[in-house]
Amino acid sequence: MIRCALLCALATSLAIALFAQTDAAAQTAMGPPDPMPVATRYLDAYARFDLAALHEFWDDASVFQDPTTAEIGAPLGPVRGAKAITKALRGSTQGVTNLSFRFEETFHSGGRVVAIGRLLYTMPAKMLSKTEGDLEFDLRVVTVLHIEGDRVREHTDYSDFSGWRAKIAAATH
């Protein structure tokens, strides 16, 4: 009787161990979890440029950058950590109005999400040393996110600033 109980316990333990290995193998075969639910919420907050909502997706390991900003001034990033990212984004957009993103296409592969769309904002005349005539911008933008769990580990923007300087020059002369 004791021998039977011992064998039953051993068989149960073996079955549980085999099931756990099979379940882990199935999860590995399926790949990482779908990042789109997190990315959709994040991109919605980014489209509204809601820094408080975005801050909740970042932690001390998160990194933000837009290397294309080097075309119009100092490059933005890489900036590490939620507080630093929030501060950098607030500073880099100081004075502009009507800032928003309109994402027209998204896709993902693994933990990376790519969003393609438009960056829209207004530079008030006073930022341009003009007395009147705000300047509207509608730039192409590609946002690449690296999602891990419910966190955005990396956010990289690539914006089309190719005609930005010429538009500023034409408006101020």
Mean pLDDT, range 76-96, rounded to an integer: 96
Residue 17 has pLDDT above 70, yes or no: no
pLDDT digits (tens, 9 = 90+) for 108-123: 998 899 999 999 999 9
At 126, the pLDDT band (50, 70, 90 cuts) reads: confident
User: Is residue 8 very low, low, confident or very high in pLDDT (cuts 50, 70, 90)?
Assistant: very low
Point out the least confidently predicted range of 22-26, 50-54, 106-110.
Answer: 22-26
Q: What is the mean pLDDT of the chain?
A: 86
- Provide the b/e sequence for 96-108 (b: ≥16 CB within 10 Å): beeeebebeebeb
CA 147/CA 35 separation, integer angstroms:
6
What percentage of residues in the chain have a pLDDT greater than 70? 81
Residues near 3 by Cβ (< 8 Å), separated by ≥ 6?
none
SS3 159: strand
On whether the CB atoms of residues 40 and 108 are closer than 8 A, the answer is no
**Stronger pLDDT, 23 or 38, i.e. the higher one:** 38
What average pLDDT does the segment 124-150 reach? 90
What are the angstrom distances between the C-alpha of 111 and each of 116, 127, 146?
Answer: 17, 39, 6
* 41 sits in which H/E element: helix 36-47
| Reported pTM | 0.79
For position 71, what pLDDT does the model report? 92
In which residue are the tokens 């994402």 written?
A: 103
Q: pLDDT tens digits, residue range 138-167?
A: 999 999 999 999 999 999 999 999 988 888
For residue 122, the SS3 value is strand
Mean pLDDT of all residues in 42-52: 98
- Burial class from Cβ neighbours inside 10 Å (0-12, 13-18, 19+) for residue 66 reads buried
Mean pLDDT, range 32-48, rounded to an integer: 94
pLDDT in tens, 51-78: 999 999 999 999 999 999 999 999 999 9
User: Residue 146 and residue 79: Cα distance in Å, rounded?
Assistant: 15
